[in-house]
């Protein structure tokens, strides 16, 4: 994994007052993203607007496609043309992207998609918040595969985690999602953008060996194959079909086993390197509240109340949601009385907590069906109830 | 026999094919291979740098073409070859990007992408094998199936109106539009050669026999019978008004080059417009090539 400094052309160094959507675009530009294909959808459109305004003076392409099917297809094409790429969307558009998220996984194409979540299903609540696409991010395309998903809780993190998403997607050659939501997307806060030489980027894993020895899907020591781009005299092939090292389709169970295992294992065996969480007062905790994104900010208030009431509460904020911090939850399940999981959906990440807890400690959902954030009192009540 | 007598002379287009993937999956008598031969012949004859040519296919019998062409080649998803090609071209404007796919892929599931790429005058070439049906999945009715023809999902005959693809392409903004049949091998080659030298959205439809499904279901005989139909019923009319190119069941096939004009491409327009609006602030993009 080669690290390089950011290209100053894309970096708007300074202290700004930005909303989360704009910060996503700035993060992408700082990370070296020079191709953006998108389709407007509330509450994510401002990211596309910002990118389209900024890219002409940075050097790159913005194109508004005819739909989200086209947007993601163009992204994958552009990666194989040599660019770092991003798009942004919300629920309905995310649904349309699912098939080609699978193609990106299969072709091991690094790209970043931000989902500024709104309430669903269907057109749902276009202008109001939700965290209802968390399982879709993990499972939405057909077949077995792994992706990476991060969840920012502020405009500053929209910037920071977009850069991290690019770095992870390049390291593991996998689609990486920034799963934010309407609240964070439209929230204005201070965003500090560091100087370019303080931003470390993972360079694409370019192949440098002899051309005639190149095999598009031959694994390197770190399980990740080398990349090339079109136009460089390799005359290579890649396909969405199950394929061998040459990238040639092989339609049988043996090749499928190798191909699919690799797509999954390259993430699961590196989970410890990928996962980032923020923990507070875990060691003494009886109750642990697990939250992510905007909900973790609301949780803070409920936790303060609970601590005032004498309950020993610890918190885990999921910065990485996928892969899920399975090991850590398993470990903690042996020690705590219960997990409390507030999220703006009717029970998604709580299922994952429950699975990892394996019956050792209950996972208590504090649901919210979308359209707003939790009342901290509801989270507080759940903590009280759990501590009884 | 001396040993060297065994060494067959290599067909020159073999260097453009992934011979390590032959035999191919197509049925005996299928027309797709003929179109691939014309394509390879056009590439061989053209002066362009083949390292800068990329082929993108969608899904279908025709979609398998990308897998047999020994160039940078991409086998994508059903209907999405055109937007994939758009991204590839814009990311690396020095590439000549060619979409090679079926009628269902391009005009059915991918129809929206097709008209928008033509509208933008995206600098890509689209070669569409029109076999009047969804062959790969077993001969279902398509947006191109002539009214009255049978298909597996139109067992009583197709009662819908089909698309006329050259008309659709021209109306959407394509700058080069031609239609041939698999019988017109040399013409197909020539059209592809011409389109290779052009900038802008070019579209070449090739009416091609699907012997196993379309021909059999409609009791039209074998591949030879279909070529005979093309021979008897095709009429070359260069420059014909694309509004007159409808295809009826076993009816007349008007072929030829219908559109050949110049128009600034997507990137030309982008560069010119943004330079005018933003002056020195604008960083021209990929200007030397595409
Ligand atoms: C999203 C999606 N829907 C359906 C299919 C199934 N499918 C595969 S090929 C095909 C039809 C291809 O027809 P056409 O593009 O005309 O190619 P042909 O096989 O006739 O050459 C269909 C419907 C698919 N692969 N993906
Ligand atoms: S099914 Fe039809 S189009 Fe497909 S390979 Fe056979 S003859 Fe060709
Ligand atoms: Mg077809």
State the Cα–Cα distance between residues A40 and A33, nearest whole angstrom.
19
Selected for mutation to probe chain B from A67, A70, A98, A227 (highest B CB count within 10 Å) is: A70
Q: Are A223 and A213 in contact (CB under 8 A)?
A: no
* Residue A290 phi, psi (nearest 5): -110, 125
Task: Assess whether pLDDT exceeds 60 at residue B289.
Answer: no
Q: In chain A, whose CA is at the least distance from the CA of B75?
A: A239
Specify whether the CB–CB gap between A116 and A146 falls below 8 A: no
What is the maximum alpha-carbon separation in chain A? 69
Residue A135 lies in a domain: yes
**Which of A202, A224, A250 is a domain's end point?**
A202
pTM here is 0.97
Please give the tally of structural domains in chain A: 2
Using the predicted structure, report yes or no on whether residue B8 has a pLDDT greater than 90. no
- The enclosing domain of A93 has a CATH number of 3.40.50.970
CA–centroid distance, residue B133 to ligand 3 (Å): 4
The confidence score (pLDDT) of residue B190 equals 98
Range of the domain at A303: 276-387
pLDDT, mean of residues A308-324:
98
Backbone angles phi, psi at A343, to 5 degrees: -155, 155
Residue B13: what pLDDT? 86
Domain residue spans in chain B? 9-263
Q: Is it the case that residue B205 has pLDDT exceeding 80? A: yes
What rounded mean pLDDT belongs to chain A? 98
| Phi and psi, residue A333, nearest 5° | -60, -30
User: pLDDT: is B11 or A116 the higher one?
Assistant: A116
Residue B290 in this model has a pLDDT that exceeds 60:
no
Residue A174 lies in a domain: yes
Both A176 and A303 in one domain: the answer is no
SS3 A340: strand
Nearest CA distance, B153 vs chain A (angstrom): 25
Q: Does residue B1 surpass a pLDDT of 90?
A: no
Q: What is the CATH number of the domain that holds A281?
A: 3.40.50.920
- Please indicate, yes or no, whether residues A167 and A285 belong to a single structural domain of this protein: no
Q: Write the pLDDT tens digit of every residue in B208-263.
A: 999 999 999 999 999 899 999 999 999 999 999 999 999 999 999 999 999 999 99
Residues of B in contact with A70 (CB under 8 A): 80, 83, 86, 112-113, 116
User: Which of the listed residues A155, A175, A202 is the one where a domain comes to its end?
Assistant: A202
Which 214-273 residues of chain A touch chain B by CB within 8 A?
229-241, 248-249
Q: Is residue A351 part of a domain?
A: yes
Q: Is residue A252 part of a domain?
A: no
Alpha-carbon A290 to chain mean position? 18
Same domain, A145 and A45: yes
Instruction: Examine residue A269 and state whether it is found in any structural domain, yes or no.
Output: no
Nearest by CB to A66, from B92, B113, B274: name it. Answer: B113
**Is A268 a member of any domain?**
no
| Domain edge (last residue) among A177, A202, A227 | A202
B268 exposed, middle or buried (CB, 10 Å; 0-12, 13-18, 19+)? Answer: middle
Q: What is the pLDDT of residue A254?
A: 98
**pLDDT-derived band of residue B138, with 50, 70 and 90 as boundaries?**
very high
Does residue A234 lie within any of the structural domains? no
A150 and A41 assigned to the same domain: yes
Q: For A213-251, how does the pLDDT look when each residue is reduced to its tens digit (9 = 90+)? A: 999 999 999 999 999 999 999 999 999 999 999 999 999
Partners of A192 in the beta sheet? A15
Same domain, A184 and A295: no
Q: Read off the pLDDT band of A1 (50, 70, 90).
A: confident
Mutate to test the pocket of ligand 1, among B136, B209, B217 (most ligand atoms within 8 A of CB): B136
Per-residue confidence (pLDDT) for residue A162, from 0 to 100: 99
Neighbours of A188 (CB within 10 A): 13
The CATH superfamily label for domain B9-263 reads: Thiamin diphosphate (ThDP)-binding fold, Pyr/PP domains (3.40.50.970)
Given this model, what pLDDT does residue B288 score?
A: 54
A31 and A135 belong to one structural domain = yes
pLDDT tens per residue, range A142-155: 999 999 999 999 99
Averaged pLDDT score across all residues of chain B: 95
Cβ-based contacts of A85 with chain B (< 8 Å): 87, 91
- A139 assigned to some structural domain: yes
Q: Output the CA torsion A173→A104→A163→B285 (10° steps).
A: 110
A176-196 pLDDT, tens per residue? Answer: 999 999 999 999 999 999 999
């Amino acid at each position: 994994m080669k690290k390089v400094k950011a290209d100053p052309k894309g970096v708007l160094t300074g202290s700004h007052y930005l909303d989360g959507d704009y910060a996503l675009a700035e993060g992408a530009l700082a990370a070296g993203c020079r191709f953006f294909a998108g389709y407007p959808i509330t509450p994510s459109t401002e990211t596309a607007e910002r990118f389209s305004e900024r890219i002409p003076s940075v050097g790159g392409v913005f194109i508004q496609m005819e739909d989200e099917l086209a947007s993601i297809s163009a992204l994958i094409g552009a990666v194989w043309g040599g660019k770092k790429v991003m798009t942004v969307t919300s629920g309905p558009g995310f649904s349309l992207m699912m098939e080609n998220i699978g193609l990106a996984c299969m072709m091991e194409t690094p790209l970043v998609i931000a989902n500024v979540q709104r309430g669903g299903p269907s057109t749902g609540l276009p202008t109001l918040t939700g965290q209802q696409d968390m399982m879709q991010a993990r499972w939405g395309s057909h077949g077995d595969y792994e992706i990476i998903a991060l969840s920012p809780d502020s405009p500053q993190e929209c910037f920071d985690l977009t850069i991290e998403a690019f770095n992870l997607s390049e390291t593991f050659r996998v689609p990486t999602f920034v799963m934010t939501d309407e609240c964070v997307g439209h929230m204005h806060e201070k965003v500090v953008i560091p100087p370019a030489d303080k931003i470390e980027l993972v360079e694409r894993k370019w192949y440098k060996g002899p051309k005639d020895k190149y095999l598009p899907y031959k694994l390197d020591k770190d399980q990740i194959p080398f990349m090339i781009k079109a136009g460089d005299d390799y005359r290579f092939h890649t396909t969405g079909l199950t394929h061998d090292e040459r990238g040639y389709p092989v339609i049988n169970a043996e090749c499928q086993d190798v191909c699919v295992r690799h797509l999954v294992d390259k993430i699961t065996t590196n989970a410890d390197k990928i996962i980032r969480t923020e923990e507070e007062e875990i060691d003494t905790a009886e109750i642990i509240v697990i939250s992510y994104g905007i909900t973790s900010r609301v949780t803070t208030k409920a936790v303060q109340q609970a601590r005032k009431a004498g309950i020993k509460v610890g918190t885990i904020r999921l910065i990485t949601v996928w892969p899920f911090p399975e090991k850590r939850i398993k470990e903690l399940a042996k020690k705590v009385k219960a997990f409390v999981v507030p999220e703006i959906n009717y029970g998604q990440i709580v299922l994952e907590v429950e699975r990892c807890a394996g019956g050792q400690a209950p996972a208590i959902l504090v649901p919210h069906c979308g359209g707003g954030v939790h009342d901290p009192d509801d989270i507080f009540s759940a903590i009280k109830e759990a501590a009884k | 026999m001396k040993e060297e007598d065994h060494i067959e002379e290599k067909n020159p287009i073999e260097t453009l094919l992934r011979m390590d993937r032959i035999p191919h999956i197509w049925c005996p008598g299928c027309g797709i291979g003929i179109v691939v031969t014309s394509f390879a012949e056009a590439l061989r004859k053209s002066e362009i740098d083949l390292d800068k040519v990329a082929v993108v296919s969608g899904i279908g019998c025709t979609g398998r073409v990308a897998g047999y062409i020994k160039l940078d080649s991409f086998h994508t998803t059903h209907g999405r070859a055109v937007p994939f090609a758009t991204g590839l071209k814009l990311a690396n404007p020095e590439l000549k990007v060619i979409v090679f796919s079926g009628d269902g892929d391009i005009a059915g599931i991918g129809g929206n992408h097709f008209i928008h790429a033509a509208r933008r005058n995206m600098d890509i070439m689209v070669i569409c094998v029109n076999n009047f049906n969804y062959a790969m999945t077993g001969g279902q009715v398509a947006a191109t199936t002539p009214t009255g023809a049978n298909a597996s999902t139109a067992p009583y005959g197709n009662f819908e109106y089909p698309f006329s693809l050259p008309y659709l392409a021209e109306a959407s903004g394509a700058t080069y539009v031609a239609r041939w049949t698999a019988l017109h091998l040399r013409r197909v080659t020539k059209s592809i050669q011409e389109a290779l030298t052009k900038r802008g959205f070019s579209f070449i439809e090739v009416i091609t026999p699907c012997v196993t499904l379309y021909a059999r279901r409609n009791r039209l005989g074998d591949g030879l019978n279909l070529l005979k139909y093309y021979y008897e019923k095709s009429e070359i009319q260069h420059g014909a008004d694309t509004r007159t190119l409808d295809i009826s069941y076993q009816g007349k096939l008007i072929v030829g080059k219908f559109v050949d004009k110049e128009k600034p491409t997507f990137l030309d327009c982008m560069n010119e417009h943004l330079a005018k609006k933003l002056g020195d602030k604008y960083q021209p993009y990929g200007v030397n090539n595409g």
